[in-house]
Amino acid sequence: AGTEFSNVRYHGDDDKAAQVYDGFKTMTGDDIGDILLWLIESPAHINVNRLEVMPVAQTYNGLTIAKQDS
């Protein structure tokens, strides 16, 4: 989900921070809300031990992303 991480990383340089996610669709608060709703509405006999979510363009190692032309 969009955060201020890049703004802090680039010491308040909003333009540079925005470029990090150009051509990359980040997760939104609504996306997280949908996941939480799914968890809450899951049957009582189901145990979710671990859940990791990320945008489809992001890999498992660091912040490697596949950008698309805007």
> Contact at 8 Å (CB) between 55 and 27?
yes
How confident is the model at residue 11, as a pLDDT?
93
Model pLDDT for residues 20-59, shown as the tens digit of each residue: 888 888 888 899 999 999 999 999 999 999 998 988 887 7
The pLDDT of residue 58: 78
Residue by residue, DSSP assigns 20-39 as TTTT-----HHHHHHHHHHH
Domain that holds residue 33: 1-70
Instruction: Please tell me the total count of domains within the chain.
Output: 1
- Up-side HSE of residue 34: CA atoms within 13 Å toward CB? 7
What per-residue confidence (pLDDT) applies to 51? 92
Burial of 46-70, coded b for 16+ CB within 10 Å and e otherwise, reads eeeeeeeeeeeebeeeeeebeeeee
pTM for this model (two decimals): 0.63
Amino acid at 42: S
pLDDT at res. 21: 81
